[in-house]
Amino acid sequence: MKIRIATRKSALALWQAEHVAALLADLPEVESVELVPLSTRGDEILDRSLQKIGGKGLFIKELEVAMQAGEADIAVHSMKDVPAEMPDGFCLAAMLERANHADALVSPNGEQLTDLAQGALVGSSSLRRQAQLKMLRPDLRVEPLRGNVNTRLAKLDNGDYDAIILAAAGLERLEFSERISQLFLPEQMLPAAAQGVVGIECLESATELRAVLAKMNHDTSVQTTLAERAIARVLEASCQSPVASFATINDTQMTVTALVAMPDGSRSIRDSVSGPAENAVSLGESLAARLLESGAAEMLEAAGATNG
């Protein structure tokens, strides 16, 4: 079997695609693996926020078109960028072991959040991060920050921001661990659904390919991802909504925690549920239902960040 991987051209996307290619090459069914680097609208439009141009789905549309056209067999994604509802004809065939789930603060001289000056300027385009940052430090100013990891670090180094927030997994994968000033605990900043998980997408009809890809699944990461994505799906939240979720498994028991907040941090709802890990999807759905009962829909509507 020959497998062509559609991937974005950023350093992190290429790292993820090459990581998957190396794992695939070890499977006896796979003869060869080839990367098909593509440019996406999400990569090209950097002067506007993702909310205004259509959300993070813009990072994967071109990859799906390539698969439909027969130019690629699979696409590799950061799962936190994948919309909760998959388009018709596509499926998530595998989810790799989760890397670091945490958000990371990066500052010029290793300052922690408590060290930042009153009214300091922090760069982040995520409403989820913005809301939780404002809950921790209401005095901070948060401005949008677009571009790949290297571009964002360069903007910090250029003095455009006093600090920035990025996913720890991306920094670690690109060997920028030494740039991390502080890792946020889930109690401080809940991550995005499936943050740190690499997923593999393919056509639903590719049954033989799907059977091969399924061998790459990491069971615990699959279960936590299913629970966290179920919350976003029920809430009809996009990847850009101020919604956070995090699931952990201890033995056979799963605990799922989720948060919905106003982008300015003025209001938030946080709740948790626990149950058997095998019921991952229903646990996520029941937690989302509790959030809706507590007023999550009105909060998301006020934030203007639902898919509708």
Catalytic residue status for 162:
no
Please give the pLDDT value at position 249. 97
Of the residues 43, 73, 81, 162, only one is catalytic, namely: 81
Residue type, 70: G
The answer to whether 284 and 247 have CB atoms below 8 angstroms apart is yes
Please name the residues in contact with 210: beta carbons below 8 A apart, sequence gap of 6 or more: 91, 93, 202, 204
Instruction: Give the pLDDT band of residue 52 (cuts 50, 70, 90).
Output: very low
Domains of the chain are 2-97+197-217 (3.40.190.10), 103-183 (3.40.190.10), 232-303 (3.30.160.40)
Confidence class of residue 102 from pLDDT cuts 50, 70 and 90? very high
Q: What is the pTM of this model?
A: 0.89
| Mean pLDDT of the residues in the chain | 91
Cβ-contact 120, 142 below 8 angstroms: no
For strand 74-78 and strand 141-143, is the pairing parallel, antiparallel, or unpaired?
Answer: unpaired
